[in-house]
Every structure is written in structure tokens, then in C-alpha cells.
Chain A
Amino acid sequence: MSDLLSSFSVSASGMAAQSSRLRHVSENIANADTPGYHRKLTPFREVMQGGRMTGEVEAAPVRLDDTELPEVFDPSHPMADEAGFYRGSNVDLVIEIADAREAQRSYEANLKMFDQARQMTRSLLEILRK
């Protein structure tokens, strides 16, 4: 029974981590046209408590993707230099959409595990009712 209860918290941590990833993806997409914006990456790591792995996951502090920012030619842009170029953002919409899909798929998998643990707990408690 305690295993089932711990798998609730593990699945919940997975869902929380995936949704914070999805939040960063949407921040990236919102800033796709912001000059000088570096896209945010959400690395995951295992939670360690008292020197032992708990099996839970958390989103580690955000890192910025330091790929070279593309130079966009637009002489009328207020931030353009003498040659008419300014630095855009390194957000690639295709990558962000793929990332969002992956986050959704993992979120659903975690949700499914949560639901299964709930059903198993319920059928376990059903035995007491007779």
C-alpha cells in the first residue's frame, strides 16, 4: 500500500515538472520575435532526499540556449546597426512545438499512472467493505 501511495507523489511530481516545461515552451513561443531573446531549456533531474533517490523528478533551474542569435536584415528596425542587421531570437518554432508535444505525451503517461495507482488502491480497499 505504501508503494501505491508513493507512486501518487512520484506521478504528481512528473506532471508538475512537465507542466513547468510546457510553461517555458510557451514563453519561448511568445518571445519568438523578441530581439536578443535566448530560448529557455528545462532540464529535469531526480530528487534526492536525505542522500537517497526518492524517484521523484523536478525541473532544474532554467538554462538558456546559447546558440548564436541569427542576424536579421531590416534597416528600418530601431535596433538595426549601420549595416542594417539586428540580432533576432534563436527560437525555432518547429522545435518548440515538438517539445510541447513531448511534454504533453509524458504528462499523459504520468496522469495514466496516477489513475492506475488510484484504481489499484480503490480495489484494495474494496476488500475491506465485505
Chain B
Amino acid sequence: MFDQLEILSMARGLATHSAARQSVVAQNLAQADTAGYKARDLASFGESYRASSGLALRSTRAGHIADSTPPPALRPHVERGIDGDPNGNTVSIESQMVKSAEIRTQHEMALSVYRTTLGILRTTLGRR
């Protein structure tokens, strides 16, 4: 009954997405002064949640090498249409900071939804 709760998997998806996006933003900021680096970003959670990873390769035996690449929705793409520095770098520290604040909020939201859902389940089971 509890193994397929949509709200839990959605909260987990949002937390995973914001963690992945945070790592992309951290990479952008680390490369903020690398000549020729193009800023990257992930698709928004709304777009990526429905795009399931149904086409991923599965390892059906212990000896198989697992497909370790992230699902297509969590693969970063190069941001287009930004005027960069003369050295070809398109990272803007300000916009990356705004993004990271957004990510923080999303992550908190995902965790709060998860925690509250667990609390409700716990209440239905009766307090001990």
C-alpha cells in the first residue's frame, strides 16, 4: 500500500533534481574564469519529471556493466543566448547565485513535503 505513493516519489524526484542542478551550478561557478567555458543548466523539474528514464539500459546480470550515465532529464545542456566575456566564458556569477537560491527553496520544499507525508503516515499508524 505504501510502496507506490506518488507524492513520495515526486518529492524524491524534486530533491534529486535540485541536488543535480546544484552540482551543475557549482560547476559553473568553479569554471567562472575558465576561458571558453559555456554555462550549463538542467531542464526544469516540470519538464524532466514526466520524461521517464524508460529507455535506459538495464543490467540484468551481475557481470554486466551498469549504465552509469544520468537519465536524459538530468543531463546538463549548454545555456544559449547569453553574451559572455571576451574570452568566451558565459558564466554570470549573479545569475548563478539567483539559481542557487531557487534550488535551495525547491530542495527545502521537497524535504518538507517528504517529512510531512511521513508524519501523516505515522499518524495513521497510531502513535507509539
A123 proximity list for chain B (CB < 8 A): 107-108, 111
B30 touches A57 (CB 8 A): yes
In the complex, what distance in Å separates the CA atom of A124 from the CA atom of B111?
7
B23 touches A10 (CB 8 A): yes
The secondary structure that dominates the B interface is helix
The segment from A28-36, A83-91, A109-117 that touches chain B is A109-117
A14 touches B111 (CB 8 A): no
Task: Mark B residues whose CB is within 8 Å of A.
Answer: 15-16, 18-20, 22-23, 25-27, 29-35, 37, 93, 96-97, 100, 103-104, 107-108, 111, 114-115, 118
B17 to chain A minimum Cβ distance, whole angstroms, is 10
A3 touches B30 (CB 8 A): no
A101 interfacial by beta-carbon distance below 8 Å = no
Given contacts A55-B30, A106-B93, A110-B30, contact A3 B22 (CB under 8 A): yes
In the complex, what distance in Å separates the CA atom of A117 from the CA atom of B22?
7
In the complex, what distance in Å separates the CA atom of A51 from the CA atom of B37?
17
Centre residue among B18, B32, B93 by max chain A CB count within 10 A? B32
A19 proximity list for chain B (CB < 8 A): none
In the complex, what distance in Å separates the CA atom of A44 from the CA atom of B30?
10
Task: Mark A residues whose CB is within 8 Å of B.
Answer: 1, 3-4, 6-7, 10-11, 13-14, 17-18, 21, 43-46, 55-57, 102-103, 105-106, 109-110, 112-114, 116-117, 119-120, 123-124, 126-127, 130
The secondary structure that dominates the A interface is helix
A109 touches B29 (CB 8 A): yes
Of the A-B pairs whose beta carbons lie under 8 Å apart in the complex, a sample of 22, sorted by A's number, is: A4-B19, A6-B23, A10-B23, A10-B27, A11-B30, A14-B26, A14-B31, A17-B30, A102-B33, A109-B93, A109-B96, A113-B30, A116-B100, A116-B103, A117-B22, A117-B26, A119-B104, A120-B22, A120-B107, A123-B111, A126-B111, A127-B114
